[in-house]
């Protein structure tokens, strides 16, 4: 078998595992709710080679519109009750017995028998699976190439004197790590192979921006004082006289060559705006793909709309005009809290995202400037998403389970914590909970500060700090802010996206559980347990201890909602695949596809070891945030 063929087979196997686990985790089509547990292979497997996976349990699902499905499974304690056990997925329908060895074929089959609209969702997801497999193969090769380049250099990139070189290095490593839960997160839907290589952070490209001249009457800027690096009209190939009544808008080159002309035509702007014939201002993509670091001004990033979709077929990466203003309002809120709260002040840093603009309220004609604080210049900055990323460099504090190489958190522990991985973990947990529990309990604020938007700042001899960016989609408890903190409430009372406000404290808890705990903490704990840095129960004990210490430091706050999290059997889980891809909003009732939950995740915080026995979730377990 050729290397390419082997890579494709590996991608098939990998994606099938991720997709089946997501189907089980989110109880798609009642796949766990209506399952019968079997202690051996189904009778329909006669003649099929399943001996290679060994004895074990299977789930039999007979209630699917497509037919009967058999899944090889094993009990699981993390995020779901059952996980996929490597091997063939079997089904029987009117055509006979089928064997699925790739995710796309399984998803196509699951869509059969559904109503036309639902079947289209499944067909689209099957295509997403195929694209994820192709892009996985390409990105795995890019990772090997990048590691080779790193190892050929005399000085490791994380020791560069330039903070932005360290920043982009760790961002690149993070880009090779898949989202913990959304199964086809590797797919950047809309990018073909050439666009992936030209614009994705895995490939470390550099390119220049394109520019549109738009009439000032249609242009809205939150701050009219544009930075010095902003090009003039001549630099983009236009007459400088246009500056009298036009303003330049940056456009991502992918949008420029793909959907821009059609969008301008459909919105009636094709005769109004003027396309600059020349490129200007070199940039480099960061982990979020559409947030671009200026190579000549690395402390400034520009966030631009893209017609790609990630983490769901309906997650198109536009910039709504309201997002610009709301993000700044929340930034002011967080900054003021940090200034007045001694437990947070100095430990919480924010990017400055006050400046943005748009043309005619079009979500594909806008930008946000993100400026990093001066503190980053003397620090190493690492996104939480990259903590479990493999590193090209060896470290000395290996365990028997990490002989094949280091990961970022062990590398950071060696550099800043005298190779004490548990010491690194304790400080990270205490920092995380001191900030997020205070925001939740004291101020009624829960942030969508996921593993990509949360960054750690580490410096020799200094306390770890947390840098947050992209804070435009939090949950704010109106009553808590308005009654207890009226001055803070005034900073955000004019928020435009009303989905940000919540009347029930349950919404804050859901955000804390599904973002802070399940995205920013649990994957790190699971990785450490799998690689010999402690027993799983012991490591989650560190989590409970850090949460308890943070609560004890706030004796005036009611921590009962937090302490109840230690004892409940099941936690909320975010149902990204259900709400973002497989089901319409009219069916789920979700106002926000990124905040749709099911109460089905085994509680890893519970002190006693959780026995993963099969308990079907109830039909009422699905809900959006209140």
Cβ-contact 200, 175 below 8 angstroms: yes
Count of the separate structural domains present in the chain: 3
pLDDT tens, 555-601?
999 999 999 999 999 999 999 999 989 998 888 877 788 889 999 99
pLDDT tens, 343-398?
899 999 999 999 999 999 999 999 999 999 999 999 999 999 999 999 999 876 55
Query: Which residues are paired to 211 by β-bridges?
Result: 250
- DSSP 8-state code for residue 346: T
pLDDT tens, 40-98?
888 766 555 565 566 889 999 999 999 999 999 999 999 999 999 988 899 999 999 99
- Domain shared by 85 and 201, yes or no: no
Quick one: which of 457, 281, 286, 291 has its CA closest to 374? 457
- CA-derived radius of gyration, the chain: 25
- In this structure, the strands spanning 207-215 and 280-285 are antiparallel
Q: Token pair for residue 469? A: 């960016």
Q: Rounded CA gap, 419 and 413, in Å?
A: 5
How far CA 540 is from CA of 9, 400, 425, 517, 526, in Å, comes to 35, 21, 11, 11, 9
Q: Please give the pLDDT value at position 52.
A: 56
- Domain shared by 363 and 458, yes or no: no
- Domain shared by 405 and 349, yes or no: no
Residue 26 lies in a domain: yes
- Domain shared by 460 and 524, yes or no: yes
How far CA 203 is from CA of 57, 169, 213, 617, in Å, comes to 41, 11, 30, 42
Q: Please give the pLDDT value at position 617.
A: 43
- Domain shared by 286 and 367, yes or no: yes
pTM: 0.94
Query: Residues 17-30: what's their mean pLDDT?
Result: 97
Residue range of the domain that includes 72: 1-126
String of DSSP letters for 199-261: H-GGG---EEEEEEEEETTTEEES-----TTS--TGGGTS-GGGGGTEEEEEE-HHHHHHTHH
- Domain shared by 327 and 409, yes or no: no
Is pLDDT above 80 for 312? Answer: no
State the pLDDT confidence band at 611, using cuts at 50, 70 and 90: very low
Instruction: Please identify, among 339, 359, 377, the residue that sits at the C-terminal boundary of a domain.
Output: 377
- Domain shared by 309 and 236, yes or no: yes
State the pLDDT confidence band at 450, using cuts at 50, 70 and 90: very high
Residue 139 lies in a domain: no
Q: Token pair for residue 310? A: 């990630």
- Domain shared by 458 and 589, yes or no: yes
Query: Any residues with CB less than 8 A from the CB of 333 and at least 6 apart, and which?
Result: 445, 488, 491, 492
> When comparing pLDDT for 154 and 145, which is higher?
145
Instruction: Please identify, among 328, 361, 377, the residue that sits at the C-terminal boundary of a domain.
Output: 377
Q: Please give the pLDDT value at position 405.
A: 67
Please, is 259 exposed, middle or buried when counting C-beta atoms within 10 Å of its C-beta (0-12, 13-18, 19+)?
Answer: middle
Buried-state track 107-139, b at ≥16 Cβ within 10 A, e below 16: bbbbbeebeeebbebbebbbbbbbbbbbbbbbb
pLDDT tens, 461-490?
999 999 999 999 999 999 999 999 999 999
Kindly report the number of other CB atoms within 10 A of residue 181's CB atom.
23
- Domain shared by 368 and 384, yes or no: no
- Domain shared by 335 and 421, yes or no: no
Q: Where are the alpha helices (DSSP H) in 66-192?
A: 103-111, 116-152, 163-175
Percent of the chain with pLDDT over 70: 93
């Amino acid at each position: 078998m050729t290397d390419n063929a082997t890579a494709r087979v590996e991608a098939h196997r990998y994606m099938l595992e991720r997709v089946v686990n997501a189907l089980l985790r989110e109880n798609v089509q009642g796949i766990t709710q209506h399952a019968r547990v079997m202690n051996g292979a189904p009778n329909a497997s006669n003649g099929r080679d399943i001996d290679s996976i060994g004895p074990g349990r299977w789930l039999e699902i007979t209630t699917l519109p497509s037919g009967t499905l058999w899944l090889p499974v094993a009990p699981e304690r993390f995020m779901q009750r059952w996980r996929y056990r490597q091997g063939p997925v079997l089904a029987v329908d009117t055509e006979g017995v089928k064997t699925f060895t790739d995710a796309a074929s399984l998803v196509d089959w699951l869509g059969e028998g559904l109503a036309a609209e639902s079947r289209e969702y499944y067909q689209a997801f099957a295509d997403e699976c195929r694209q994820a497999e192709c892009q996985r193969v390409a990105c795995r090769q890019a990772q090997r190439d990048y590691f080779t380049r790193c190892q050929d250099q005399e000085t490791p990139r994380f020791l560069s004197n330039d903070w932005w070189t360290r920043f982009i290095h760790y961002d690149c490593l993070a880009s090779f790590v898949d989202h913990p839960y959304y199964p086809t997160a590797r797919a950047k839907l809309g990018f073909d192979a050439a666009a992936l290589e030209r614009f994705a952070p895995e490939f470390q490209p550099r390119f220049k921006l394109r520019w549109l001249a738009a009439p000032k009457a249609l242009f809205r800027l939150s701050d009219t004082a544009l930075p010095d690096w902003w090009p003039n009209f001549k630099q983009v190939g236009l007459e400088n006289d246009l500056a009298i009544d036009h303003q330049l808008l940056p456009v991502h080159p992918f949008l420029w060559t793909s959907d821009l002309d059609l969008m301008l035509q459909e919105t009636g702007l094709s005769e109004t705006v003027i396309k600059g014939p020349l490129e200007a201002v070199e940039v480099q993509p960061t982990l979020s793909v559409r947030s671009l670091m200026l190579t000549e001004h690395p402390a400034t990033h520009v966030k631009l709309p893209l017609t790609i979709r990630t983490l769901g077929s309906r997650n198109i990466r536009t910039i709504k005009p309201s997002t610009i203003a709301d993000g700044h309002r929340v930034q002011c809120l967080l900054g003021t809290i940090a200034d007045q709260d001694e437990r947070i002040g100095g430990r919480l840093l924010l990017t400055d995202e006050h400046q943005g603009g748009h043309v005619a309220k079009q979500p594909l004609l806008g930008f946000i400037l993100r400026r990093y604080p001066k503190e980053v210049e003397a620090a190493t900055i690492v996104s939480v998403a990259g903590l479990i990323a493999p590193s090209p460099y060896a470290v000395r504090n290996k365990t028997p389970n990490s002989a094949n190489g280091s990961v970022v958190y062990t590398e950071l522990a060696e550099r800043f914590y005298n190779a004490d991985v548990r010491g690194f973990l304790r400080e990270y947990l205490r920092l995380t909970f001191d900030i997020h529990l205070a925001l939740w309990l004291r101020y009624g604020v829960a942030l969508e500060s996921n593993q990509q938007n949360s960054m750690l700042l580490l410096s020799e001899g200094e306390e770890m700090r947390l840098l947050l960016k992209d804070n435009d989609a939090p949950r704010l408890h109106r009553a808590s802010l308005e009654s207890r903190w009226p001055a803070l409430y005034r900073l955000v009372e004019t928020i435009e996206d009303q989905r940000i406000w919540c009347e029930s404290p349950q919404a804050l808890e859901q955000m804390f559980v599904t973002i802070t705990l399940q995205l920013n903490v649990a994957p790190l704990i699971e990785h450490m347990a799998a690689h010999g840095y402690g027993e799983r129960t012991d490591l989650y004990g560190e989590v409970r201890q850090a949460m308890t210490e943070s609560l004890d430091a706030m004796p005036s706050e009611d921590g009962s909602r937090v302490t109840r999290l230690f004892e409940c059997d099941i936690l909320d889980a975010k149902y990204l695949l259900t709400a973002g891809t497989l089901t319409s909003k009219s069916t789920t009732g979700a106002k926000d596809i990124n905040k749709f939950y099911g109460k089905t995740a085994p509680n890893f915080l519970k002190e006693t070891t959780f026995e993963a026995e099969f308990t079907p979730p109830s039909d009422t377990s699905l809900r959006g945030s209140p």
